[in-house]
Amino acid sequence: MELVAFLGNDKETWGQVNGLINRGEWEKIIVVKSKTAEDYDSPKESDLVIVDTSKPLLELKEELITKLKTKLSGFDAHVSIASGTGKEHMALISALLTIPVGIRLVVFTKNGVETIN
């Protein structure tokens, strides 16, 4: 299973992303982060994809397609959008579906990693 987690500038949500990374059994972890989220370090080995979130939505989507299509190896990915903004989430989801990759939304709860769709 591959995890694609968006990491926004909202540091209070970084714990949710770290919980998923630490508690899930992932074959590959891809952390997509804003270039302004400079001080984040993933708790496990992961591919970091740094994007310019100041771009308009469609440009951000194209940047994500270019940077993600070579990193994804499966037909689907577990996706976390617990961090970031609506624009960033829309760009990520649209990029993954365009690649094409199926998505399964995941969240870290008191019960562990749960798929929510």
Summarised one tens digit per residue, pLDDT across range 10-40 is: 888 999 999 999 999 999 999 999 888 778 8
Residue 2: which of 75, 54, 51 has the closest Cα?
Answer: 75
CATH number at residue 7: 3.40.50.10770
The whole-model pTM stands at 0.93
Task: Give the least confident one: 22-26, 66-70, 113-117.
Answer: 113-117
Number of domains in the chain: 1
Question: Which pLDDT value is given to residue 74?
Answer: 81
Domain that includes residue 62, residue range: 2-115
The 10 Å Cβ neighbour count of residue 100 is 10
How many helical (H) and strand (E) elements, i.e. helices and strands, does the chain have?
3, 6
* Residue 89 near residue 115, CB atoms below 8 Å: no
% residues pLDDT > 70 (the chain): 100
Q: Find residue 50's DSSP bridge partners.
A: 33
Question: Which pLDDT value is given to residue 50?
Answer: 94
